[in-house]
Homo-oligomer: A and B are copies of this chain.
Protein backbone atom coordinates (compact mmCIF):
# COMPACT_ATOMS: atom_id res chain seq x y z
CA UNK A 1 0.00 0.00 0.00
CA UNK A 2 1.24 3.46 -0.85
CA UNK A 3 2.17 5.59 2.11
CA UNK A 4 0.66 8.78 0.81
CA UNK A 5 -1.59 9.70 -2.08
CA UNK A 6 -0.23 12.62 -4.06
CA UNK A 7 -2.95 14.82 -5.51
CA UNK A 8 -2.36 17.62 -8.03
CA UNK A 9 -4.94 20.38 -7.78
CA UNK A 10 -5.74 22.88 -10.51
CA UNK A 11 -6.23 25.75 -8.06
CA UNK A 12 -7.53 28.13 -10.73
CA UNK A 13 -10.42 26.01 -12.09
CA UNK A 14 -14.10 26.47 -11.31
CA UNK A 15 -16.29 29.45 -10.63
CA UNK A 16 -14.59 30.27 -7.32
CA UNK A 17 -10.90 29.49 -7.96
CA UNK A 18 -8.33 29.04 -5.17
CA UNK A 19 -10.71 30.11 -2.37
CA UNK A 20 -12.78 26.98 -2.72
CA UNK A 21 -9.91 24.72 -3.79
CA UNK A 22 -7.77 25.47 -0.72
CA UNK A 23 -10.72 25.21 1.68
CA UNK A 24 -11.71 21.90 0.03
CA UNK A 25 -8.19 20.51 0.33
CA UNK A 26 -8.25 21.33 4.04
CA UNK A 27 -11.54 19.44 4.49
CA UNK A 28 -10.29 16.44 2.50
CA UNK A 29 -7.05 16.32 4.48
CA UNK A 30 -8.93 16.10 7.77
CA UNK A 31 -10.73 12.99 6.55
CA UNK A 32 -7.81 11.52 4.56
CA UNK A 33 -4.66 12.55 6.48
CA UNK A 34 -2.44 10.59 4.09
CA UNK A 35 -2.80 13.04 1.20
CA UNK A 36 0.00 15.25 -0.06
CA UNK A 37 -1.13 18.12 -2.28
CA UNK A 38 0.52 20.14 -5.01
CA UNK A 39 -1.47 23.22 -5.93
CA UNK A 40 -1.00 24.69 -9.40
CA UNK A 41 -1.96 28.30 -9.97
CA UNK A 42 -1.32 31.90 -9.00
CA UNK A 43 1.02 31.54 -6.01
CA UNK A 44 0.22 35.07 -4.80
CA UNK A 45 -3.44 34.16 -4.50
CA UNK A 46 -2.80 30.69 -3.04
CA UNK A 47 -0.15 31.53 -0.40
CA UNK A 48 -2.32 33.63 1.96
CA UNK A 49 -5.19 31.13 1.71
CA UNK A 50 -2.83 28.29 2.57
CA UNK A 51 -1.43 30.25 5.49
CA UNK A 52 -4.85 30.09 7.12
CA UNK A 53 -4.65 26.26 7.13
CA UNK A 54 -1.34 25.31 8.81
CA UNK A 55 -1.99 21.55 8.72
CA UNK A 56 -2.72 21.72 5.00
CA UNK A 57 0.21 24.04 4.35
CA UNK A 58 2.58 21.50 5.89
CA UNK A 59 1.32 18.81 3.47
CA UNK A 60 1.21 21.04 0.40
CA UNK A 61 3.51 22.61 -2.12
CA UNK A 62 2.60 25.32 -4.60
CA UNK A 63 3.70 25.54 -8.23
CA UNK A 64 3.15 28.92 -9.75
CA UNK A 65 1.44 29.08 -13.17
CA UNK A 66 0.82 32.25 -15.12
CA UNK A 67 -2.05 30.95 -17.22
CA UNK A 68 -5.53 29.98 -16.00
CA UNK A 69 -7.98 28.33 -18.41
CA UNK A 70 -11.28 30.20 -18.47
CA UNK A 71 -14.62 28.46 -18.05
CA UNK A 72 -15.61 29.84 -21.46
CA UNK A 73 -12.47 28.74 -23.33
CA UNK A 74 -13.11 26.25 -26.08
CA UNK A 75 -10.98 23.09 -25.87
CA UNK A 76 -8.91 24.15 -28.90
CA UNK A 77 -8.33 27.64 -27.42
CA UNK A 78 -7.36 26.10 -24.08
CA UNK A 79 -4.82 23.84 -25.77
CA UNK A 80 -3.37 26.75 -27.74
CA UNK A 81 -3.12 29.16 -24.83
CA UNK A 82 -2.60 26.78 -21.93
CA UNK A 83 -0.59 23.81 -23.10
CA UNK A 84 2.46 23.40 -20.82
CA UNK A 85 1.83 26.75 -19.05
CA UNK A 86 -1.66 26.61 -17.49
CA UNK A 87 -2.52 25.35 -14.01
CA UNK A 88 -4.85 22.81 -15.62
CA UNK A 89 -2.18 21.38 -17.91
CA UNK A 90 0.48 21.31 -15.20
CA UNK A 91 -1.78 19.43 -12.77
CA UNK A 92 -2.42 16.78 -15.43
CA UNK A 93 1.23 16.74 -16.47
CA UNK A 94 2.23 15.99 -12.87
CA UNK A 95 0.27 12.74 -13.21
CA UNK A 96 1.93 12.03 -16.55
CA UNK A 97 5.39 12.56 -15.03
CA UNK A 98 4.59 10.34 -12.06
CA UNK A 99 4.87 13.26 -9.64
CA UNK A 100 1.20 12.97 -8.68
CA UNK A 101 -1.22 10.03 -8.46
CA UNK A 102 -4.21 11.98 -9.64
CA UNK A 103 -5.29 15.42 -10.83
CA UNK A 104 -8.44 17.27 -9.78
CA UNK A 105 -9.90 20.31 -11.55
CA UNK A 106 -13.15 22.24 -11.47
CA UNK A 107 -12.22 23.91 -14.74
CA UNK A 108 -14.21 23.56 -17.92
CA UNK A 109 -14.90 19.97 -18.89
CA UNK A 110 -14.10 20.24 -22.57
CA UNK A 111 -10.72 21.81 -21.98
CA UNK A 112 -9.86 19.38 -19.19
CA UNK A 113 -10.73 16.35 -21.33
CA UNK A 114 -8.84 17.75 -24.33
CA UNK A 115 -5.73 18.36 -22.23
CA UNK A 116 -6.01 15.01 -20.45
CA UNK A 117 -6.24 13.23 -23.81
CA UNK A 118 -3.24 15.04 -25.28
CA UNK A 119 -1.12 14.77 -22.14
CA UNK A 120 -1.97 11.35 -20.71
CA UNK A 121 -3.27 9.52 -23.81
CA UNK A 122 -5.60 6.54 -23.54
CA UNK A 123 -4.75 3.25 -21.84
CA UNK A 124 -3.27 0.57 -24.08
CA UNK A 125 -6.49 -1.41 -24.54
CA UNK A 126 -8.91 1.54 -24.67
CA UNK A 127 -9.43 3.56 -27.82
CA UNK A 128 -11.51 6.44 -26.58
CA UNK A 129 -12.01 8.03 -23.14
CA UNK A 130 -15.25 8.53 -21.23
CA UNK A 131 -16.60 10.63 -18.39
CA UNK A 132 -18.42 8.78 -15.63
CA UNK A 133 -20.91 10.71 -13.50
CA UNK A 134 -22.39 9.79 -10.15
CA UNK A 135 -26.20 9.82 -10.55
CA UNK A 136 -28.39 10.24 -7.44
CA UNK A 137 -31.18 7.63 -7.45
CA UNK A 138 -34.03 6.48 -5.23
CA UNK A 139 -31.78 3.63 -4.08
CA UNK A 140 -28.63 5.70 -3.51
CA UNK A 141 -26.34 6.35 -6.43
CA UNK A 142 -25.48 4.86 -9.79
CA UNK A 143 -22.57 5.44 -12.13
CA UNK A 144 -23.55 6.67 -15.58
CA UNK A 145 -21.08 6.75 -18.45
CA UNK A 146 -20.29 8.21 -20.95
CA UNK A 147 -21.83 11.61 -20.22
CA UNK A 148 -20.11 13.40 -23.05
CA UNK A 149 -16.44 12.64 -23.65
CA UNK A 150 -16.91 10.67 -26.86
CA UNK A 151 -19.65 11.08 -29.44
CA UNK A 152 -20.81 7.86 -31.08
CA UNK A 153 -19.91 4.36 -29.92
CA UNK A 154 -19.58 0.99 -31.59
CA UNK A 155 -20.26 -2.23 -29.68
CA UNK A 156 -16.61 -2.58 -28.65
CA UNK A 157 -16.55 0.88 -27.11
CA UNK A 158 -19.79 0.17 -25.22
CA UNK A 159 -18.21 -3.01 -23.84
CA UNK A 160 -15.14 -0.99 -22.78
CA UNK A 161 -17.50 1.45 -21.05
CA UNK A 162 -19.21 -1.43 -19.22
CA UNK A 163 -15.87 -2.74 -18.01
CA UNK A 164 -14.54 0.66 -16.94
CA UNK A 165 -17.83 1.53 -15.22
CA UNK A 166 -17.85 -1.77 -13.37
CA UNK A 167 -14.24 -1.28 -12.25
CA UNK A 168 -15.16 2.15 -10.89
CA UNK A 169 -18.33 0.79 -9.24
CA UNK A 170 -16.35 -1.89 -7.41
CA UNK A 171 -14.42 0.94 -5.76
CA UNK A 172 -17.22 3.47 -5.22
CA UNK A 173 -19.84 1.02 -3.96
CA UNK A 174 -17.38 -1.47 -2.45
CA UNK A 175 -19.04 -4.48 -4.08
CA UNK A 176 -17.44 -7.35 -5.96
CA UNK A 177 -19.83 -7.65 -8.91
CA UNK A 178 -21.75 -4.48 -9.73
CA UNK A 179 -24.84 -4.78 -11.95
CA UNK A 180 -24.48 -3.20 -15.37
CA UNK A 181 -27.24 -2.10 -17.77
CA UNK A 182 -27.11 -0.79 -21.33
CA UNK A 183 -29.27 2.29 -21.89
CA UNK A 184 -31.75 1.63 -24.67
CA UNK A 185 -35.23 2.61 -25.87
CA UNK A 186 -36.85 -0.59 -24.62
CA UNK A 187 -35.90 -3.57 -22.52
CA UNK A 188 -36.54 -6.24 -25.17
CA UNK A 189 -33.59 -7.82 -26.96
CA UNK A 190 -34.90 -6.82 -30.38
CA UNK A 191 -35.10 -3.09 -29.66
CA UNK A 192 -32.68 -0.24 -30.17
CA UNK A 193 -29.64 0.58 -32.25
CA UNK A 194 -27.46 -2.17 -33.66
CA UNK A 195 -24.39 -1.18 -31.65
CA UNK A 196 -26.29 -1.46 -28.36
CA UNK A 197 -27.83 -4.80 -29.34
CA UNK A 198 -24.43 -6.17 -30.37
CA UNK A 199 -22.83 -5.02 -27.11
CA UNK A 200 -25.73 -6.61 -25.22
CA UNK A 201 -25.15 -9.95 -26.95
CA UNK A 202 -21.46 -9.97 -26.05
CA UNK A 203 -22.05 -8.97 -22.43
CA UNK A 204 -24.78 -11.61 -22.05
CA UNK A 205 -22.80 -14.40 -23.65
CA UNK A 206 -19.44 -13.56 -22.07
CA UNK A 207 -20.08 -13.87 -18.36
CA UNK A 208 -17.35 -11.51 -17.20
CA UNK A 209 -16.06 -11.77 -13.64
CA UNK A 210 -16.68 -8.75 -11.40
CA UNK A 211 -19.79 -7.71 -13.32
CA UNK A 212 -23.42 -8.84 -13.46
CA UNK A 213 -24.89 -7.88 -16.84
CA UNK A 214 -28.52 -6.92 -16.24
CA UNK A 215 -29.67 -6.26 -19.81
CA UNK A 216 -31.19 -3.15 -21.31
CA UNK A 217 -32.50 -0.31 -19.17
CA UNK A 218 -34.48 2.79 -20.14
CA UNK A 219 -34.26 6.48 -19.28
CA UNK A 220 -36.51 6.15 -16.24
CA UNK A 221 -34.25 3.47 -14.77
CA UNK A 222 -31.64 6.17 -14.16
CA UNK A 223 -33.65 7.78 -11.35
CA UNK A 224 -34.87 4.42 -10.04
CA UNK A 225 -31.35 3.13 -9.55
CA UNK A 226 -32.19 -0.15 -11.28
CA UNK A 227 -28.51 -1.00 -11.79
CA UNK A 228 -25.17 0.12 -10.35
CA UNK A 229 -23.72 1.10 -13.73
CA UNK A 230 -25.58 2.48 -16.74
CA UNK A 231 -23.69 2.43 -20.01
CA UNK A 232 -24.46 4.69 -22.93
CA UNK A 233 -22.78 6.51 -25.77
CA UNK A 234 -21.66 10.09 -25.00
CA UNK A 235 -24.26 11.97 -27.02
CA UNK A 236 -27.28 10.26 -25.44
CA UNK A 237 -25.55 10.24 -22.05
CA UNK A 238 -24.89 13.96 -22.11
CA UNK A 239 -28.49 14.67 -23.15
CA UNK A 240 -29.82 12.40 -20.40
CA UNK A 241 -27.62 14.11 -17.77
CA UNK A 242 -28.61 17.62 -18.80
CA UNK A 243 -32.26 16.69 -19.20
CA UNK A 244 -32.32 15.33 -15.65
CA UNK A 245 -30.55 18.44 -14.31
CA UNK A 246 -33.00 20.65 -16.23
CA UNK A 247 -36.01 18.72 -14.95
CA UNK A 248 -34.75 18.98 -11.37
CA UNK A 249 -34.32 22.75 -11.77
CA UNK A 250 -37.76 23.05 -13.33
CA UNK A 251 -39.43 21.18 -10.46
CA UNK A 252 -37.34 23.19 -7.99
CA UNK A 253 -38.96 26.30 -9.46
CA UNK A 254 -42.43 24.68 -9.18
CA UNK A 255 -41.70 23.97 -5.51
CA UNK A 256 -40.63 27.58 -4.85
CA UNK A 257 -43.80 28.74 -6.61
CA UNK A 258 -45.88 26.38 -4.47
CA UNK A 259 -44.29 27.71 -1.27
CA UNK A 260 -44.93 31.32 -2.30
CA UNK A 261 -48.45 30.49 -3.45
CA UNK A 262 -50.27 32.07 -0.44
CA UNK A 263 -49.67 33.07 3.19
CA UNK A 264 -51.04 29.64 4.16
CA UNK A 265 -48.44 27.85 2.07
CA UNK A 266 -45.67 30.11 3.41
CA UNK A 267 -46.80 29.27 6.93
CA UNK A 268 -46.81 25.60 5.98
CA UNK A 269 -43.24 25.98 4.76
CA UNK A 270 -42.19 27.38 8.13
CA UNK A 271 -43.45 24.23 9.83
CA UNK A 272 -41.88 21.95 7.25
CA UNK A 273 -38.64 23.91 7.00
CA UNK A 274 -36.26 21.16 8.09
CA UNK A 275 -37.92 18.70 5.73
CA UNK A 276 -37.57 21.18 2.88
CA UNK A 277 -33.92 21.65 3.73
CA UNK A 278 -33.42 17.89 3.42
CA UNK A 279 -35.27 18.03 0.10
CA UNK A 280 -33.17 20.91 -1.20
CA UNK A 281 -30.05 18.97 -0.24
CA UNK A 282 -31.24 15.90 -2.13
CA UNK A 283 -31.90 18.03 -5.19
CA UNK A 284 -28.55 19.84 -5.00
CA UNK A 285 -26.61 18.94 -8.14
CA UNK A 286 -23.34 19.33 -6.22
CA UNK A 287 -24.33 16.72 -3.64
CA UNK A 288 -22.68 13.90 -5.53
CA UNK A 289 -19.54 15.49 -6.93
CA UNK A 290 -16.61 14.16 -8.89
CA UNK A 291 -16.81 13.08 -12.52
CA UNK A 292 -14.18 10.47 -13.26
CA UNK A 293 -12.31 10.50 -16.56
CA UNK A 294 -11.97 6.89 -17.64
CA UNK A 295 -9.83 5.21 -20.26
CA UNK A 296 -6.86 7.53 -19.81
CA UNK A 297 -3.43 6.48 -18.64
CA UNK A 298 -3.83 8.37 -15.38
CA UNK A 299 -6.56 9.44 -12.95
CA UNK A 300 -8.25 12.79 -13.57
CA UNK A 301 -11.29 13.97 -11.62
CA UNK A 302 -13.62 16.75 -12.69
CA UNK A 303 -15.36 18.71 -9.94
CA UNK A 304 -18.52 20.71 -10.69
CA UNK A 305 -17.50 24.24 -11.64
CA UNK A 306 -19.92 25.69 -9.10
CA UNK A 307 -19.08 23.30 -6.27
CA UNK A 308 -18.48 24.75 -2.80
CA UNK A 309 -15.63 23.59 -0.55
CA UNK A 310 -17.56 20.57 0.74
CA UNK A 311 -18.50 19.57 -2.80
CA UNK A 312 -14.96 20.00 -4.12
CA UNK A 313 -13.62 18.01 -1.15
CA UNK A 314 -15.93 15.20 -2.29
CA UNK A 315 -14.26 15.26 -5.71
CA UNK A 316 -10.80 15.10 -4.10
CA UNK A 317 -11.92 12.10 -2.07
CA UNK A 318 -13.25 10.36 -5.18
CA UNK A 319 -9.78 10.82 -6.68
CA UNK A 320 -8.15 9.52 -3.50
CA UNK A 321 -10.33 6.39 -3.52
CA UNK A 322 -9.65 5.72 -7.21
CA UNK A 323 -5.91 5.81 -6.59
CA UNK A 324 -5.92 3.99 -3.25
CA UNK A 325 -8.04 1.18 -4.69
CA UNK A 326 -6.17 1.07 -7.96
CA UNK A 327 -8.76 1.96 -10.55
CA UNK A 328 -6.33 1.68 -13.45
CA UNK A 329 -5.09 -1.75 -12.39
CA UNK A 330 -8.68 -2.95 -11.94
CA UNK A 331 -9.60 -1.75 -15.43
CA UNK A 332 -6.52 -3.40 -16.98
CA UNK A 333 -7.25 -6.65 -15.18
CA UNK A 334 -10.91 -6.67 -16.26
CA UNK A 335 -9.99 -5.86 -19.86
CA UNK A 336 -7.55 -8.77 -19.86
CA UNK A 337 -10.21 -11.08 -18.39
CA UNK A 338 -12.67 -9.94 -21.05
CA UNK A 339 -10.20 -10.63 -23.84
CA UNK A 340 -9.54 -14.07 -22.41
CA UNK A 341 -13.23 -14.87 -21.99
CA UNK A 342 -13.95 -13.85 -25.57
CA UNK A 343 -10.89 -15.52 -27.11
CA UNK A 344 -12.37 -19.05 -27.47
CA UNK A 345 -15.05 -17.73 -29.80
CA UNK A 346 -12.46 -16.19 -32.08
CA UNK A 347 -9.99 -19.09 -31.98
CA UNK A 348 -11.44 -22.41 -30.76
CA UNK A 349 -8.96 -24.28 -28.59
CA UNK A 350 -7.59 -27.50 -30.04
CA UNK A 351 -8.97 -30.43 -28.05
Contact = CB atoms under 8 A, between A and B. Distances in A.
Given A254-B282, A261-B278, A268-B275, 14 more contacts: A74-B190, A185-B238, A185-B239, A219-B238, A219-B244, A222-B243, A222-B246, A222-B247, A223-B249, A244-B244, A244-B246, A261-B275, A268-B268, A268-B272
7 contacts: A148-B185, A218-B242, A219-B244, A244-B246, A258-B279, A267-B268, A267-B272
A264 B274 contact: yes
Interface stretch (A121-129, A168-176, A228-236, A321-329): A228-236
A224 B240 contact: no
B240 A258 contact: no
Interface string A207-219: 0000000000011
A152 B193 contact: yes
A271 B265 contact: yes
A220 B235 contact: no
Interface of A: 74, 110, 137-138, 148, 151-152, 183, 185-186, 188, 190, 192-193, 218-224, 232, 234-236, 238-251, 253-255, 257-259, 261-262, 264-265, 267-276, 278-279, 282-283
A79 to B, nearest CB: 14
A319 to B, nearest CB: 25
B250 A137 contact: yes
Contacts of A272: 258-259, 261, 264-265, 267-269, 272
A219 B240 contact: yes
A223 B250 contact: yes
Contact of A235 (B137, B192, B222, B249): B192
Contacts of A250: 137-138, 223-224
Contact of A223 (B185, B247, B279): B247
Nearest to A272: B268
A239 B183 contact: yes
Between A243, A255, A283, the greatest number of chain B beta carbons within 10 A of the residue's beta carbon is seen for A243
Contacts of A255: 255, 279
Contacts of A183: 239
A196 B242 CA distance: 18
Nearest to A277: B258
B239 A219 contact: yes
A271 B266 CA distance: 8
Contacts of A232: 239
Given A234-B185, A272-B268, A243 B220 contact: yes
Contacts of A268: 267-273, 275
B251 A278 contact: no
Contacts of A193: 151-152, 235
Contacts of A190: 74
Given A219-B239, A239-B236, A244-B244, A275 B251 contact: no
A262 B221 CA distance: 29
B258 A265 contact: no
